[in-house]
Amino acid sequence: VFGLCAHRETLILPRIAGLALAAFAVMRGIARSREPRSLLGLCGFPSRRMLFVALCIVLGVALGVYYRYRQERPLLPEALTYMCLVSAAIGLGEEVIYRGFVQGSLRRYSVIVAILAGAGAHTAYKCCLFALPDVAVRADMLWLAIGTFATGIVVGAMRERWGSLLFPVVFHVAFDVTAYGDLPS
């Protein structure tokens, strides 16, 4: 609901309702969890894996550069705007929701199901965001869906392999800052 209404200023009540419903579901799920930190992938900072953090930054920036190339924009932001902080916060929030809560909640069925469901839910949300924008946004919806789903599988596997949400968050924030950090709004 939020994704479909996000860019429509006149649809404020559905946006608020969509966010409130999602927040309620997440809070309820966390409250019922016996191990909320594990559910969300907040299991501490694996200090011996700094090389993987650096790799996540490089991969996130590289994907952001490719995204900018597909949008026919300069490959790197020339100057960062306040959208740098907004996009970083959005990337963090999306990872906590999709790789943290959704994937963490479904791990009891199987890791594969959890990764695919987290990637699928994030893909559906992302496609909804670009489906009805108020302003003209050039988005190849098929490329967006395939790219978001494939990337979701990779970052979901990162979360499972390295046991922390840190790596998907670093990757996603690096991507979002590179892709959107210079936008005016």
For the segment 34-43, the average pLDDT, to the nearest whole number, is: 69
155-179 pLDDT, tens digit per residue, is 999 888 887 888 899 999 999 999 9
119-148 pLDDT, tens digit per residue, is 999 998 888 877 766 555 566 788 889 999
pTM: 0.80
pLDDT > 70 in the chain, percent: 83
118 or 139, which is more confident: 118
Confidence of residue 109 (pLDDT cuts 50, 70, 90): very high
pLDDT at 173: 94
52-108 pLDDT, tens digit per residue, is 888 999 999 999 999 899 888 999 998 888 888 988 998 988 998 899 889 988 988
For the segment 31-38, the average pLDDT, to the nearest whole number, is: 72
The greatest distance separating any two alpha carbons of the chain, rounded to the nearest whole angstrom, comes to: 49
pLDDT at 5: 62
Per-residue burial over 22-54, b if 16 or more Cβ lie within 10 Å, else e, is eeeebeebbeeeeeeeebbbeeeeeeebeebbe
